[in-house]
């Protein structure tokens, strides 16, 4: 198993008094190559679940095992290292470094992780995402679709065990969104990656092997 969630609960303090139970006793597991879409209304807890899986936040109860290791029990430093090596996130807002070129944005994780063969791997990712002739452009000079391609390339370059995507086509028009979704799923399939996708978009969710729906903090 790549990812196992056991009885995950999370609540946030309510402004005023008391607290909101965002996630209630959630359990599921994913194997290598699995793709899962999590849908649900705004406020149903999708993003909270994603941030817990990504290790950006910690659950109140329960365990999250990534490749068998309990990330919810890790110390902050260990966690950030592990997170960086094993997971990648693709954001709705792309979150590219505005002052770095496409190529530099893609190679940034490798630089941070001080890995070798940066040039080679970056060229490979540029090739795979079809950005070869846009490598020297700054994000501002790229279209939205191109930006998300850069983000996907950046996510995949570290060869993560688990890929997380937060509304990856939410900021794109329909046509571009479809193209990006195709690229994402092609790459996930080709590289046999595990993907968790949070989206409203039924078309996008439909391309996953498994679709789960969050309703008031409960996975159905």
Positions that interact with another protein (CB under 8 A): 42-43, 46-48, 50-51, 54, 56-57, 76-77, 80-81, 83-85, 89, 91-93, 95, 97-100, 104, 108-109, 111-114, 138-141, 154, 158, 166-167, 170
In three-state secondary structure terms, 90 is strand
Q: State which residue, 164 or 188, has the beta carbon closest to another protein.
A: 164
Q: What is the DSSP letter of 204?
A: H
In three-state secondary structure terms, 25 is strand
Q: State which residue, 73 or 112, has the beta carbon closest to another protein.
A: 112
DSSP assignment string, 155-166: HHTT--SEEEEE
Least CB distance to another protein at residue 94 (A): 9
- Count of beta carbons in the 10 Å neighbourhood of residue 199: 23
Least CB distance to another protein at residue 142 (A): 9
Q: State which residue, 43 or 202, has the beta carbon closest to another protein.
A: 43
Least CB distance to another protein at residue 200 (A): 10
Question: Which H or E run includes 85?
Answer: helix 76-86
Nearest to 148 by CA among 130, 136, 124, 122: 130
Contact 82, 101 (CB under 8 A): no
Contact 118, 109 (CB under 8 A): no
Q: State which residue, 139 or 217, has the beta carbon closest to another protein.
A: 139
Contact 126, 103 (CB under 8 A): yes
Q: 219 — alpha (psi -120 to 50), left (phi > 0) or beta?
A: beta
Least CB distance to another protein at residue 186 (A): 23
Q: State which residue, 7 or 99, has the beta carbon closest to another protein.
A: 99
Strand partners for 219: 214
Q: State which residue, 36 or 158, has the beta carbon closest to another protein.
A: 158
Least CB distance to another protein at residue 84 (A): 2
Least CB distance to another protein at residue 67 (A): 16
């Amino acid at each position: 198993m790549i990812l196992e969630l056991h009885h995950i609960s999370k609540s946030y303090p309510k402004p005023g008094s008391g607290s909101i139970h965002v996630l209630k006793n959630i359990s599921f597991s994913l194997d290598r190559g699995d793709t899962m879409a999590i849908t649900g209304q705004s406020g149903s807890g999708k993003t909270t679940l994603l941030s817990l899986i990504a290790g950006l936040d910690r659950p109140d109860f329960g365990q999250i095992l990534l490749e068998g290791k309990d990330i919810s029990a890790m110390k902050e430093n260990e966690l950030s290292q592990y997170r960086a090596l094993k997971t990648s996130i693709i954001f709705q807002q792309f979150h590219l470094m505005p002052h770095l070129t496409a190529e530099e944005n893609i190679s940034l994780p490798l630089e941070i992780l001080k890995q070798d063969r940066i040039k080679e791997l970056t060229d490979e990712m540029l090739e795979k995402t079809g950005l070869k002739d846009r490598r020297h452009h700054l994000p501002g000079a790229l279209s939205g679709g191109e930006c998300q391609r850069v983000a996907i390339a950046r996510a995949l370059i570290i060869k993560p065990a688990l890929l997380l995507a937060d509304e990856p086509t939410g900021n794109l028009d329909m046509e571009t969104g479809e193209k990006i979704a195709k690229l994402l799923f092609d790459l996930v399939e080709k590289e046999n990656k595990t993907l968790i996708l949070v989206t409203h978009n039924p078309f996008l969710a439909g391309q996953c092997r498994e679709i789960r729906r969050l309703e008031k903090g409960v996975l159905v």
